[in-house]
Each structure stands twice: as C-alpha cells, then as structure tokens.
Amino acid sequence: MTIPIVVLSAGDLVDAGLVSSLARPGGNITGVSGRVEELNEKLLELLKESMPSASRVAVLGGAIAVGLHRKGMEIAARSLGVRLAFVEVTSLKDLDAAFETAAKARAEGLVLLATPLFAFNEMQVAKLALQRRLPAIFWRSGFPEAGGLMAYGPDRAYMWRRGGALLGRVLKGARPADLPVEQADRFRLVINLKTAKALGLTIPPSVLGRADLVIQ
C-alpha cells in the first residue's frame, strides 16, 4: 500500500526529486513549498537596506546551501556594493567557530541560509549574533522572536492552512499525483527593535514601515 503524503513548508520538491513537476507531482507526494531557497538575495537586500553603510556581510550555511546559492548571492551583492564572506556550518558544535570566522572577516552583518541547523537552534544563533554584535537576518519569524534582528519569509500560518486544505482533499479520495504543489505567495517581515537597540542600530523608516510585526 502506498501512503499519500502532504508536505508542509517544504523546499524545492522538484530539485529534491520528490515530484515530477509542481503542476503534476506524478507520485504519492504533494504539498506546499515555502520557496525559502529563493529568498537569499531578498534577505541580503533587506539587511543592506537596514544598514546602508555596511560593505561586508557574512553568509552562513551548510556546504550544499553555500554551493548552490553562492553565485546568485555574489551577483546580488555586487549590485548592492557589498562584499560577501561565505562560512560553512556543518554541525551545532561549529557555530561558535563560524561566528568567530565571520567576525574575523570584519563582517558587519549576517545572512543565514535556510538550514535545519539554524531553524532548530534559533535562540543560540540569535545569542551568538548579539554577542558578536552582528545584525542577522533569517527566513523564519521565530528567529527575531528568539532575539535575532530580522526575518523575512513565507507566512507559515497561511501555508499550514493551505496544507490542511490539501490534506482534506486527500482524505476525501484525491490522489497527490493530481494535486499541484502550491507555492507560498504571502511573506512576512518581522523586526526585533529591542535587538536593534542592543546592537546600536537604527532601522530606517523605509524598512520599518514594511514590517508585518515589530517586536519591542
């Protein structure tokens, strides 16, 4: 018996080889893609807009994520007048060393690539960023809620509702193969002003005015 699967907050299911295409999954899997792999350049842009004078930014992520997104981020960085230092983080025990490497590279801010390591350790990552006085941005709203500076990513509550709707259709007999994979189309910007103050950073009104949630 093949068990139908509805995936929530997934990455690129096509690149992962889990579905044939978004429109026609073709197997026993469908769901909702958070499109977080597409956000890296946007994260860099928002960080730079929040720190107009910044010229050096560190990008932290796993080896695969760094390899996949390095070229695109370097192109975006050149257009923003920013130099990037890529730092690979493979395990939790590497976090301290990664932040030390970023500091030695004279980074003025951090972009955290989508990785479970950061998602499952948001409080520790936020603490290290504050200790090193490095404004950091991630895609999950839990990051600024844990003390990080900023997050920009898909509205997860909305994604879960959409995933629930897909699950309901499957439970009523629909085949995942016939249900197109949905892609996130609602995104939220969350800013922690308390952290900004601790970092001595003033968020420009042009950024603050676009925030969906401001933590004070």
The pLDDT assigned to 10 comes to 60
Could you write out the three-class secondary structure of 109-161? Answer: EEEECCCHHHHCCHHHHHHHHHHCCCCEEECCCHHHHCCCCEEEEECHHHHHH
Q: Which residues contact 72 (CB under 8 A, 6 or more apart)?
A: 40, 41
CATH number of the domain encompassing residue 94: 3.40.50.2300
Contact status, residue 161 vs residue 186, Cβ threshold 8 Å:
no
pLDDT of residue 9: 65
Same domain, 102 and 162: no
Do 133 and 210 fall into the same domain? yes
Total domains present in the chain: 2
Same structural domain for residues 114 and 201?
yes
193 and 119, same domain (yes or no) = yes
- Token pair belonging to 61: 């992520």
73 and 158 part of one domain: no
Clarify whether residues 143 and 96 are in a common domain.
Answer: yes
The total of other beta-carbon atoms located within 10 Å of residue 165's CB is 13
> What is the pTM for the complete model shown?
0.88
Quick one: DSSP state of residue 185?
Answer: -
pLDDT at 8: 80
Looking at the fold, whether 16 and 93 belong to one and the same domain comes out as no
pLDDT at 88: 95
Residues 197 and 183 grouped into a single domain: no
Pair (127, 174) in one structural domain? no
Range of the domain at 71: 37-152+188-215
Domain match, 10 and 97 both: no
> For each of the chain's 216 residues, which pLDDT tens digit applies?
578 888 886 667 777 677 888 888 888 888 888 777 788 999 999 999 999 999 999 999 999 889 888 999 999 999 999 999 999 998 999 999 999 999 999 999 999 998 889 999 999 999 999 999 999 999 999 999 999 999 999 988 888 888 899 999 999 999 998 999 888 889 999 999 999 999 999 999 999 999 999 999
Identify whether residues 14 and 104 lie together within a single domain. Answer: no
Is there a single domain that holds both residue 14 and residue 54? no
Q: What residues are paired with 88 via a beta bridge?
A: 61
